């Protein structure tokens, strides 16, 4: 088998020597070189006449005009200010009422007399008698803190808006 491979290899070498290497024609070489020169000239022309980039001030000025032309609707609160004052007044009334409701601890004579006077109408006793007083005070206190947080955040937002303008 090695003899066949050697014969074939010798035969291929003889064929390659007889054929010789191909040399490109002069026209082909001139055409390729012409294209190389054209491409080099094109790149030089593009670098000389490159498009200038817009300055940063131009971009920010255009964006400022776009933002100025858009009208931004002022946000309206879901619950108006008057309603919030009404809610705050109702919570204040509930806090005051909790001081006069009977609790589990003994009360002074003054509060006992006031409770007797208020409870004679049976308005509060029917509604709040099942809720322990510490639970009611906790709920009302937390609600007051939430309302206070809401009002403080709104005041801070208003102050920030006036400081920016």
pLDDT at 36 over 90: yes
For every residue of 46-102, DSSP letters joined together read: HHHTPPPPPPHHHHHHHHHHHHHHSPPPPP--SS-HHHHHHHHHHHHHHHHHHHHS-
Would you say 122 and 115 are in contact if contact means Cβ atoms under 8 Å apart? no
The radius of gyration of the chain's CA atoms, rounded to the nearest angstrom, is 47
* Rounded CA separation 158/152 (Å): 10
19-23, 88-92, 122-126, range with greatest mean pLDDT: 88-92
pLDDT at 115 over 70: no
Mean pLDDT, residues 77-89 taken together: 85
pLDDT at 55 over 70: yes
139-151 residue pLDDT tens: 888 888 888 888 8
Mean pLDDT, residues 127-132 taken together: 68
**Residue whose structure tokens are 């817009």:** 54
pTM for this model (two decimals): 0.27
Give 36's Cβ-side CA count (13 Å radius). Answer: 6
pLDDT at 129 over 80: no
Q: How confident is the model at residue 117 (pLDDT cuts 50, 70, 90)?
A: low
pLDDT at 46 over 60: yes
CB neighbour list of residue 125: distance below 8 Å, 6 or more residues apart: 102, 119
Give the pLDDT score at 12: 84
* Rounded CA separation 125/118 (Å): 9
* Rounded CA separation 154/165 (Å): 17
Q: Where are the domains of the chain?
A: 81-164
* Rounded CA separation 116/101 (Å): 10
Q: What is the mean pLDDT of the chain?
A: 76
């Amino acid at each position: 088998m090695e003899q066949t491979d050697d014969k074939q290899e010798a035969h291929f070498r003889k064929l390659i020597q007889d054929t010789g290497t191909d040399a490109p024609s002069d026209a082909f070489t001139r055409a390729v070189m012409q294209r190389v020169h054209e491409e080099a000239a094109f790149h030089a022309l593009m670098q000389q006449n490159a498009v200038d980039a817009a300055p940063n001030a131009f971009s920010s000025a255009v964006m400022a005009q776009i933002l100025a032309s858009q009208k931004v609707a002022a946000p309206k609160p879901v619950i108006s200010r008057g309603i919030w004052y009404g809610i705050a007044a109702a919570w204040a009334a509930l806090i005051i009422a909790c001081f006069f409701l009977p609790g589990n601890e003994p009360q002074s004579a003054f509060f006992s007399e006031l409770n007797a006077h208020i409870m004679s109408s049976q308005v509060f006793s029917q509604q709040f008698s099942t809720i322990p007083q510490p639970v009611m005070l906790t709920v009302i206190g937390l609600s007051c803190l939430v309302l206070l947080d809401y009002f403080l955040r709104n005041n801070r937002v208003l102050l920030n808006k006036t400081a920016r303008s």
